Structure 1
Amino acid sequence: MLTVNDVDKSYSGGGMFFSRSKQVLHNISFTLDAGEILGIIGESGSGKSTLGRLLLGIEKPDRGTIQFEGRDIGERAGRQGRISAVFQDYTSSIHPYYSVEKALTEPLKLQGRSNAEINRKINSLLREVGLDSSYRKKYPHELSGGQAQRVCIARAVSTEPRYILLDEAVSSLDASVQFQILELLKKLKEAYGMSYIFITHDIQAAAYLCDRMMFVRSGQIEEIVSARRLNEVQSEYSKAMLQMALRITDGGAGKESRIL
């Protein structure tokens, strides 16, 4: 479904009289299959969010190709309504002056739906993410973090996309809310038959949700491993991240979010 082949990405910087190019991604290649959840795991500065922008078609690679169902990801017509995203900062993901209803109406209008269809779909979406119709008239400042992220997820699935990119989508939520959102994502994935790309630094959340996990360090892929075979990781970086996650688990035994 999604094929990434030999992708490089650099950014230029520097002062008025000279510029220097910094390579952020190096020779990135992987695939995402239909119905699969792929975790992209890495620390801050590893290049995973830059990769996310490329996978959404927001930016273009310097070298290599990204194809979505046989078409270049940069072709807007090929991805519109078929790729969605949920980001970490739910407070800025919804316009502060938009009600929940208006935020959900926008993508549905782009599909050419009638007002009656939009009305029914909004109620259905809210039920699917665990909110009732009373939330239609609420504004972002009236929502908790978990509620706001549920609205963002509802908006992402509203167009019934082929895949959703989730960029640190649970990292700013409380532990118990993180677990609820991960459960919600599992349920929606099955209901809609979607794929996910789950970008995170949290190996525990990724292990709970993902089928495969891709470890990224300094803009390069360290390795890709099945989530069921995490104990077989080979690179020292992957082993170190796994050991760190296990230490956190030992320190927080009994919490819902500790899933390793």
Structure 2
Amino acid sequence: MLKVYDVEKSYKAGGALSKDKRKIIKGVSFECEIGECLGIVGESGSGKSTLGRLILGIERPEKGEVLLDGVSTCHVKTRVGKMSAVFQNYASSINPFFTVQQAIMESLRMVKERKEGQEKQVELLLNQVGLPASYKDKYSHELSGGEAQRVCIARAIATKPKYLLLDECISSLDISVQLQILNLLKELRSAYDMSYIFITHDLQAATYLCDRLMIFKDGKIEEIVAVQNLKHVKSSYAKELLRKTISL
């Protein structure tokens, strides 16, 4: 299980030489169950992506801790093969000098997949994300946005992680492609029995994919609610977010 305990994070404000700090994450605590899809929903600048980096162990919290099966995610061995991520900017997520096959093999090597089986595994992964095996020889500049993000997803699931963090992974895509990716994520979650942490500003996408929603504002949790109980949210911010979505 993934557990976040009283996590806080600040950054320097006003330049590198400044002594002033701005607190971005403010005493955040929650749990994400095995097999659950937890949405972290909030507007731009709310601290969602910073929280995502803390969850992944990319950054260390100043206070509190993030534990995966009781061990801090700041330790590389804790997360290798157990946690993966797909980010918003698919264009910069793939090395432009790598073929699709080479990009996916980066993950397979992390879990020491036997070399002779790597190419077949790449083809299987491409098939699972809806791409033909022939795409393994393409480069990122030859892919559409949706295709590139599918490759990023294939690379992320190659290690068969327990947890997959998705940080605004559909926001740069056309609306029709967004729905395709959401449906793909639903299928993969069932096939791999993964847990998702879905970070987004899009409440509609979150309700489509997630079991529970964490409403996030100004570095704090406003409310955590099951998707089926969303119309019963209590905080004024959550109510306003819901009202805006319904009026779209």
**What range describes the TM-score normalised by the shorter chain of this pair?**
over 0.9
Corresponding position: 1:206 with 2:228:
no
Separation in structure 2 between the aligned mates of residue 108 and residue 14 of structure 1, nearest angstrom = 42
Match of 2:228 in 1: 228
The 5 Å alignment of 1:51-130 reads: 51-130=51-130
Corresponding position: 1:170 with 2:152:
no
- How far the C-alpha of 1:246 sits from its partner, in A, is 0.7
Local SS of the residue matching 1:213: strand
Separation in structure 1 between the aligned mates of residue 49 and residue 113 of structure 2, nearest angstrom = 33
- RMSD of the alignment, in Å? 1.0
AA at the equivalent of 2:66? I
Local SS of the residue matching 2:159: coil
Separation in structure 2 between the aligned mates of residue 16 and residue 25 of structure 1, nearest angstrom = 20
Local SS of the residue matching 1:23: strand
Distance 1:116 1:18, change over 3 A: closer
Q: Is the 8 A contact 2:47 2:218 kept in 1?
A: yes
Separation in structure 2 between the aligned mates of residue 10 and residue 111 of structure 1, nearest angstrom = 34
Separation in structure 2 between the aligned mates of residue 18 and residue 70 of structure 1, nearest angstrom = 36
The 5 Å alignment of 1:128-143 reads: 128-143=128-143
- How far the C-alpha of 1:176 sits from its partner, in A, is 0.8
Match of 1:196 in 2: 196
Separation in structure 1 between the aligned mates of residue 176 and residue 57 of structure 2, nearest angstrom = 33
AA at the equivalent of 1:220? K
Match of 1:22 in 2: 22
Output one character per residue of 1:104-159: Cα deviation in whole Å (capped at 9) or x when no partner.
11111222222221011101000000001110110111101000000000000000
Match of 1:237 in 2: 237
Output one character per residue of 1:7-49: Cα deviation in whole Å (capped at 9) or x when no partner.
1111123357642010001110100000000000000110000
Q: Is the 8 A contact 2:94 2:103 kept in 1?
A: yes
* Deviation beyond 3 Å, 4+ runs, structure 1: 15-18
Match of 1:181 in 2: 181
Separation in structure 1 between the aligned mates of residue 131 and residue 112 of structure 2, nearest angstrom = 25
AA at the equivalent of 1:207? T
| Of 115-124 and 51-60, the range deviating more from structure 2 | 115-124
Gapped regions of structure 2 (runs ≥ 5): none
Separation in structure 1 between the aligned mates of residue 203 and residue 169 of structure 2, nearest angstrom = 13
Distance 1:145 1:236, change over 3 A: same
Local SS of the residue matching 2:173: coil
Local SS of the residue matching 1:95: coil
Separation in structure 2 between the aligned mates of residue 185 and residue 172 of structure 1, nearest angstrom = 16
Corresponding position: 1:161 with 2:161:
yes
Separation in structure 1 between the aligned mates of residue 15 and residue 8 of structure 2, nearest angstrom = 23
Local SS of the residue matching 1:30: strand
Gapped regions of structure 1 (runs ≥ 5): 249-260
AA at the equivalent of 2:157? V
Separation in structure 2 between the aligned mates of residue 221 and residue 191 of structure 1, nearest angstrom = 31
Distance 1:98 1:236, change over 3 A: same
Local SS of the residue matching 1:78: helix
Local SS of the residue matching 1:224: strand
Output one character per residue of 1:29-84: Cα deviation in whole Å (capped at 9) or x when no partner.
10000000000000011000000000000011111121111101111111111100
Local SS of the residue matching 1:172: coil
The count of residues paired between Structure 1 and Structure 2 equals: 248
Local SS of the residue matching 1:97: coil
Separation in structure 2 between the aligned mates of residue 15 and residue 242 of structure 1, nearest angstrom = 36
AA at the equivalent of 1:70? G
| Of 201-210 and 63-72, the range deviating more from structure 2 | 63-72
| Of 111-120 and 55-64, the range deviating more from structure 2 | 111-120
% of aligned pairs identical?
Answer: 52
